[in-house]
Amino acid sequence: MKYQYSDRVPESDEDPVGNILKVAGSDKIISFAGGLPAPELFLVDDLKKVTDEVYDESGQAALQYSVANGLPELRDQIVKRMVKSNIHTTADNIIITTGSQQSIDLTAKMFVNPGDTVIVEQPTYLCALDVFRTYGAHLVGVEMDDDGMKMDALEQALVDNPNTKFIYTIPSFQNPTGRTMPFDRRQQMIDIAKKYDVIILEDDPYGAIRYAGDDVAPIKSVDDDERVIYMSTFSKILAPGLRIGWIVAEKKLVKKFTLMKQSADVHSDNLTQHIIAKYMDEYNIDDHIAKIKACYREREGVMMDAIEKYFPKNVHYSHPEGGLFIWVEVPGDINTQELFNTCIKNNVAFVPGEPFYADKVIPGTFRLNYSNMTDEKIITGIQRLGKAIEETIASQKVEQGA
């Protein structure tokens, strides 16, 4: 039978990123490709304990259908957590989602018609780009510097694209670059969004994982007219397999999100919501986050020292103060796929930069993750990667000379 797919379904079944991660998953390869938290930090015993308590105390309710906007007890816990980020809100302003990915999908579904513009950082989270493309968005990438999205370039993008529906930004420890937008630039973004009357979708999965420098309050903290849709997740501060995230937005928007979510999955996993709410009630999650920060601080430091030692001196890279990623830029017209292939031969892997770009791709860029490998493997892997970069640069020089 010939299937008549909608326009949202990609014509090709090729999954280049999936293929990269599959190759990188070999036992022989040291992989810096996935954005994976450290599994040894997962609270298996604590979560097992509170899960048993949930079954004993409210098992029937936890296994029943529930409301689409999420378990009230969990939303109340998130309200308390948001205060620590200087976001003062209520449970009625919060909806629980099935991870950050659903938050992005629901927002795009709710606002984007085919041809509408979505402005993004250049580069940005590749799975967000996939979602926006699915709904037919016209994607406009805005150049970044070490402090994130450039505000003059953002304003010009809004002038050039009056049909912009929203600005998508990851201001803290951005994926893939690890960069953080300073507070004054966040205020500028709000002012520009007001001027051109557009929404900001603030994606904040990594903000709590700061291990150096001073905290920077979310954009939502200076939102005085409800134009920021803030989203976060338990994936990086508890466990990604729980698949629970949340949105903070104006109450009328939350009602719309609730309707959209009901048609998508009725509600997020009710048992998991009970488990997280119970954990948050009995334990101080900030104690656990402190352990994550300590681990990632050490691993990032090991990776940065190894990069300085083993990478060619003309290679540029970001210097994150938190999160999970380092962004690398190899100068010259480097073929990143060729570099990736050379790395695989040297039993080390990264994610090439191409999928992170909305439009014009900068060659020779790639993302490294430091949270998921031991110190020893980080050092060995970066040594292999430095060798592969040198081999690729030398090979390119030979080709150019020919």
pLDDT tens-digit map of 330-382 = 988 888 888 998 999 999 999 999 999 999 899 999 999 999 999 999 999 99
pLDDT of residue 7: 81
Rounded to an integer, what distance in angstroms lies between the CA atom of residue 220 and that of residue 247? 11
- What is the chain's length? 402
Architecture category of domain 44-282 in CATH: 3-Layer(aba) Sandwich (3.40)
Instruction: Write down the pTM of the prediction.
Output: 0.95
Angle, CA 34 vertex, CA 379 and CA 19 arms, to 5°: 115
Beta-ladder partners of 200: 167, 228
**pLDDT, tens only, 166-179:** 999 999 999 999 99
**pLDDT, tens only, 80-96:** 999 999 999 999 999 99
Confidence of residue 4 (pLDDT cuts 50, 70, 90): confident
**pLDDT, tens only, 64-120:** 999 999 999 999 999 999 999 999 999 999 999 999 999 999 999 999 999 999 999
Confidence of residue 303 (pLDDT cuts 50, 70, 90): very high
Residue span(s) of the chain under CATH 3.90.1150.10 come to 16-42+287-397
Q: What phi-psi label fits residue 164: left (phi over 0), alpha (psi between -120 and 50 degrees) or beta?
A: beta
pLDDT at 386 over 60: yes
Rounded to an integer, what distance in angstroms lies between the CA atom of residue 389 and that of residue 315? 9
pLDDT at 402 over 60: no
Rounded to an integer, what distance in angstroms lies between the CA atom of residue 267 and that of residue 263? 9
Residue span(s) of the chain under CATH 3.40.640.10 come to 44-282
Omega before 123 within 30 of 0, i.e. cis: yes
CATH number of 16-42+287-397: 3.90.1150.10
Beta-ladder partners of 117: 138, 164
Alpha helices, DSSP H, located in 200-284: 251-265, 270-282
